[in-house]
Amino acid sequence: MDPNQQELLANALSSIADAVFITDRDGRIVWANEAFSRLSGYAAHETLGRSPAMLKSGRQDAEFYRDLWQTPCMTSPRAKRRVAAIIFSRTTTA
């Protein structure tokens, strides 16, 4: 990816309304956008170096997380070799 594409991607991730964070290969958060901070209540600096497990609400059971990590985007060889990006969209229930 050339520098212009990298800048475009960085700007897109920073400005979208969905919460986005990026982890390193060890599963530690290395970056989060403003929407993540707004929706999660955590300032980006509070999440750096921590595991996404910090977001567990206690409302979901182990099966929910097992299914999440078995989705194709989380199990592909590319995802395992590269830095993982996890995108959470805030949803509401009636």
What are the tens digits of pLDDT across the range 34-55? 999 998 899 989 999 999 888 8
Of the candidates 14, 51, 53, the one whose C-alpha atom is nearest the C-alpha of residue 34 is 14
Mean pLDDT of the chain: 76
Total structural domains within the chain: 1
- Stretch 70-77: mean pLDDT: 58
As a whole number of angstroms, the distance between CA 2 and CA 28 comes to: 26
pLDDT tens per residue across span 1-20 = 788 888 888 888 889 888 88
Contact, 90 vs 38, CB < 8 A? Answer: no
Is the residue at 44 inside a domain?
Answer: yes
- Stretch 59-71: mean pLDDT: 76
Higher pLDDT, residue 17 or 88: 17
Is the residue at 66 inside a domain?
Answer: yes
Is the residue at 93 inside a domain?
Answer: no
Is the residue at 34 inside a domain?
Answer: yes
Is the residue at 78 inside a domain?
Answer: yes
Is the residue at 36 inside a domain?
Answer: yes
The structure tokens listed for 38 are 């707004």
As a whole number of angstroms, the distance between CA 50 and CA 30 comes to: 8
